[in-house]
A and B are shown apart, each in its own frame.
Chain A
Amino acid sequence: MHLPSVLVAGLDFSTLPQQVVNGILLGAIYALIALGYTMVYGVLKLINFAHGEVFMLGAYTALFVSWGLGYKPTDNPTGSSPFNLLLMLLASMLVCAVIGVLIERFAYRPMRSQARIASLITAIGMSLFLQYGGQLVLPNSPPQNIAGKINPYQGNIAIPLRGKNADLVAQAAKAKPAFDQAQAAFQEDLKHEKSEFDLTPQGQALSDAAHKAERTYNDLQNKADASGLQVNLPQGQMIMLVTTLVLMGLLTYLVMYTKRGRAMRAVSHDFDSAALMGVNVNSIVTFTFILGSSLAGAGAMMNATFLTGTKIDTFFGMLPGVKAFVAAVLGGIGNIPGAVLGGLLMGVAETLVVWAGYSSYRDAIAFVILIVVLLFRPGGLMGSSKVEKV
Chain B
Amino acid sequence: MKFWGVRFGSIAAAVLGALLLQGVAGHFGDFIVHLVVLAGLYVTLAVSLNLINGITGQFSIGHAAFYQVGAYSAGYLATRFHPKFHGPETIWLVIVMAAGALGACIAGLIVGLPSLRLKGDYLAIVTLGFGEIIRIVVQNQDALGASYGFTVAPRIQIVSVVWLLAILCIAVCRNLLKSAHGLTFLAVREDEVASSAMGVNVTRTKVTAFIIGSAFAGAAGALYAHAQAFISPSLFTMDVSFIIVTMVVLGGTGSITGSAVAAVILFYLPEKMRDLSEIQNSKILGFSIGLILVIVFIRQMMEKYHGPKATKGWIITGGVVGGVVISYILAAILHAIPALQGVTEGSKLRMVVFAVTLIVLMLLRPQGIFAHHEFSLSWVAKLFGKKDVPRVEVSA
Contact = CB atoms under 8 A, between A and B. Distances in A.
Query: Do A and B have CB atoms closer than 8 angstroms in the complex?
Result: yes
Interface of A: 45-47, 107, 110-111, 114-122, 124-129, 131-133, 135-137, 318, 322, 325-326, 329, 360-361, 363-364, 366-368, 370-371, 374-375, 378, 390
A366 B351 CA distance: 26
Given A125-B356, A128-B351, A118 B366 contact: yes
Contact of B358 (A122, A364, A368): A122
Contacts, number: 121
A129 B359 contact: yes
A47 B122 CA distance: 9
A68 B153 CA distance: 52
B121 A120 contact: yes
A162 to B, nearest CB: 35
B366 A114 contact: yes
B245 A367 contact: no
Interface in B114-145: 114, 118, 120-122, 124-126, 128-130, 132-133, 136-137, 139-140
A321 to B, nearest CB: 11
Contact of A136 (B139, B342, B357): B342
A136 B343 CA distance: 5
B132 A124 contact: no
A46 B343 CA distance: 31
A111 B362 contact: yes
B333 interface: no
A375 B340 contact: no
A390 B193 contact: yes
Given A137-B340, A361-B140, A110 B126 contact: no
B129 A114 contact: no
A364 B362 contact: no
B330 interface: no
Contacts of B249: 121
A46 B132 CA distance: 21
A117 B358 contact: no
A371 B355 contact: no
Nearest to B135: A364
A132 B239 CA distance: 11
Contacts of A46: 121
Interface string B354-371: 111111001100100000
Q: B114, B345, B362: which has the most chain A beta carbons within 10 Å?
A: B362
Interface size class of B (residues with CB under 8 A): 35 or more
B348 interface: yes
Interface of B: 59, 61, 114, 118, 120-122, 124-126, 128-130, 132-133, 136-137, 139-140, 147, 193, 238-239, 242, 245-246, 249, 339-340, 342-343, 345, 348-352, 354-359, 362-363, 366
Nearest to B147: A360
Nearest to B59: A117
B118 A371 contact: no
A370 B125 contact: yes
A29 B375 CA distance: 51
Contacts of A114: 362, 366
B293 to A, nearest CB: 13
Nearest to B131: A367
Contact of B363 (A110, A367, A374, A378): A110
A367 B129 contact: yes
B150 to A, nearest CB: 16
A204 to B, nearest CB: 41
A374 to B, nearest CB: 6
Nearest to A116: B120
Given A117-B59, A374-B122, A364 B359 contact: no
Given A371-B133, A375-B114, 6 more contacts: A116-B121, A119-B362, A121-B249, A125-B246, A128-B358, A363-B132
B121 A367 contact: no
Q: A121, A135, A329: which has the most chain B beta carbons within 10 Å?
A: A121
8 contacts: A115-B366, A119-B362, A124-B358, A125-B246, A125-B357, A137-B343, A363-B132, A374-B118
Nearest to A117: B59
Contact of B348 (A135, A360, A370, A378): A135
Given A114-B366, A371-B126, A129 B245 contact: no
Contacts of A133: 352, 355
Contacts of B238: 318
A137 B132 CA distance: 28
A360 B249 CA distance: 34
Contact of A125 (B124, B132, B355): B355
B229 to A, nearest CB: 25
Contact of A371 (B130, B140, B239): B130
